């Protein structure tokens, strides 16, 4: 990894984030145009590359040892993906190059469109058409099957980590209304991004992974996790694209498990039994149902759980054969028991596609 030297001037905030100033030269080669996004890891900027004349996305990692170390692991994962799929037929984001600059690990990527989440938000969270959901799901499953073949678990699948190749759209009438218009994508091609939490299955697994809304039950119950946790996340994503809103909107373990129970049914008895006794008595009653509201918060609002619907009400299998197939796929993705969940390879062959 080469280092770019430049005279020092204060350019980081107190947390080690690079301060993005549009129009400023980041390095002699890259000129900043705008901030594209940011997270705990650092920031992503749109830059002009004077060498190629193209616009690129530059991910600038926080100048903090923990995040620098994580970035080096991410670079290793990205290089593994590229080495195993040079033509990028599995649509995982490819790394153009990496360098260090003022104590920041930097990664250069192709500049693409907005994330699927940002497109949804811009479109006032109006859902995608069933056909577009089908196309997104098929591509996502192919990308994840490729990762799993390489012994990699993504661990952070969510609409924010799925980029559209292009955000170009047409305005079309929404539903039966002729006055309300919705954004209809011209292209549904996607690219899977953010391998900062990706983990080789035979290497160290941190205890808690995944963004809350997309977190599988085995992670909450501390039962260990592997490839199936990605499949649970995909089930949650498909429903979100179809309805326009996240399936499990919560930040609490008790509430999350109670919501899961409404959507997919009670946890199988062997899963309850496998849970450590302290967690088992905390989360479950003696009959195996979720203990909600929790004894320590008897007056907690149950509105969130009461607003949940069973999977067959969210996607009715009796609507038509396509919905029946979609319901079957979701039912296999959202199994409480990770070992009963469909694999990415199997899901790619599902009759929904």
Q: Return the active site residues.
A: 156
CB 98 within 8 A of CB 82: no
* Residue 279 CB-density burial (10 A; 0-12 exposed, 13-18 middle, 19+ buried): middle
Which residues are bridge partners to 223 per DSSP?
A: none
DSSP letters, 57-110, are EEEEE-SSHHHHHHHHHHHHHHHHHHHH-TT-TT-BPPEEEEEEETTEEEEEEE
Start-to-end CA span in the chain (Å): 42
> SS3 of 323, please?
helix
CB 337 within 8 A of CB 266: no
Nearest residue to 60 via CA among 77, 48, 45, 72: 45
Q: Are strands 162-164 and 169-173 parallel, antiparallel or unpaired?
A: unpaired
∠ CA 91-94-98 to the nearest 5 degrees? 165
CB 330 within 8 A of CB 341: no
Rounded Cα distance between 77 and 93, Å, is 11
Check whether 59 is labelled as a binding-site residue.
yes
Residue set of the binding site for ATP: 59
């Amino acid at each position: 990894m080469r280092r770019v030297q430049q005279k020092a001037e204060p350019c980081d905030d107190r947390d080690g984030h690079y301060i993005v100033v549009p129009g400023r030269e980041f390095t002699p080669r890259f000129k900043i145009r705008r901030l594209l996004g940011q997270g705990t890891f650092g920031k992503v900027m749109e830059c002009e590359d004077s060498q190629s004349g193209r616009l690129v996305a530059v991910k600038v990692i926080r100048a903090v040892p923990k995040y620098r170390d994580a970035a080096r692991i991410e670079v290793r994962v990205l290089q593994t993906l590229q080495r195993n799929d040079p033509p990028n037929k599995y649509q995982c984001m490819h790394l153009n190059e990496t360098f260090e600059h003022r104590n920041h690990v930097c990664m250069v990527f192709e500049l693409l469109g907005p994330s699927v989440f940002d497109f949804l938000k811009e479109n006032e969270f109006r859902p995608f058409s069933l056909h577009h959901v089908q196309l997104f799901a098929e591509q996502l499953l192919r990308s994840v099957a490729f990762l799993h073949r390489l012994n990699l678990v993504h661990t952070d699948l969510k609409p924010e980590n799925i980029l559209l190749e292009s955000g170009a759209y047409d305005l079309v009438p929404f539903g039966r209304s002729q006055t309300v218009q919705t954004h209809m994508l011209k292209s549904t091609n996607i690219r899977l991004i953010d391998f900062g939490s990706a983990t080789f299955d035979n290497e160290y697994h941190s205890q808690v992974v995944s963004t809350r809304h997309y977190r599988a039950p085995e992670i909450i119950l501390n039962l260990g996790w592997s490839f199936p946790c990605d499949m649970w996340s995909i089930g949650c994503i498909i429903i979100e694209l179809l309805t326009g809103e996240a399936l499990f909107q919560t930040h609490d373990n008790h509430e999350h498990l109670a919501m899961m129970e409404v959507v997919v049914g009670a946890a199988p008895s062997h899963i309850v039994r496998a849970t450590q006794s302290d967690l088992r008595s905390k989360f479950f009653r003696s009959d195996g149902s979720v203990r909600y509201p929790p004894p320590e918060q008897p007056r907690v609002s149950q509105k969130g759980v009461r607003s949940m619907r069973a999977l067959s009400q969210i996607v009715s299998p009796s609507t038509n054969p396509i919905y029946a197939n979609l319901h079957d796929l979701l039912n296999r993705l959202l199994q409480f028991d990770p070992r009963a969940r469909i694999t990415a390879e199997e899901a790619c062959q599902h009759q929904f596609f």
